[in-house]
Structure 1
């Protein structure tokens, strides 16, 4: 697939917009930005890949659906993440959408300095080779078609190549991260 974004043009365009439209505005601090986003809940996903260094995983709340036709999704990863270099060097990924019963996997993949694949009962490999967690209610595998460095993070765009939704997963309460805590959605949280 050919991407139409010329990153040099985009950067020039952004710099032009910044200098033209925002030169008189102050930038908020990183802490103020993070505090605001703590009020915005995010679905919890685990992203796995087979990098040149071996299997790698991270927990993310930054997964977004970009397009259904063609099927595209994206996620971001901080350059400070312990798995950043390995994730950025991979070419295919599995994005797992976690339910409340996968809290252990979410916490494991969010912890630095541990072997996320030490417990071989938790994970397996797809026929295409990528490591994945079979207990996830749903997952989408895809290949990277673009990567954009943006500030202190990278945005990785994938084209979906396969997916699975576990039978009965429609009733699985999703795992959500909100204000530095793990939560789940369910009938108790439905407001309309």
Structure 2
């Protein structure tokens, strides 16, 4: 490993549980409020991270992530910077609908997707949706900018399951099939370090890696 003193430490956290999470609805770029359980999850993560001295906090501009970031940092004097780069994958017209509707209406597309090799799955787009390649490209671009901009600093990033899962696939920690059998808990987090080129996962809480 290179000189570790130049690395930025980044805690990547999923938002707390939302009402739509409990109803098995696709959220995408639409939004849903945190449940009381989601608020409690964020508070538990705040306790787990209370000894971490964050220098900066970034969040998706979607309310569920921003509110999670506010709960985690409520006892700290830190401004939360929001960005669309941290938004969940865009499912277009299927955002805000039950996942079963997505499955039923796009059955042929889902079957086609499953038949593809992993490299092709990255580029695959359901009607009106973002591809996973587009998702991971914007997330990696953001993480590289943070790592380069905050060397030797510690940064909190609050985002969504789709981005975290795609990051784990990108880093070779997951296969595509692992998305359906492994967990990314609400308010779970990864700890990674980066110099803007390489990424190394150092810890995980509530997120399965190397399944």
Same fold (TM over 0.5): no
When you count strand as a share of all residues, which structure comes out higher? Answer: 1
| Larger relative contact order, structure 1 or 2 (CA cutoff 8 Å, min sep 6) | 2
TM-score using structure 2 length: 0.22
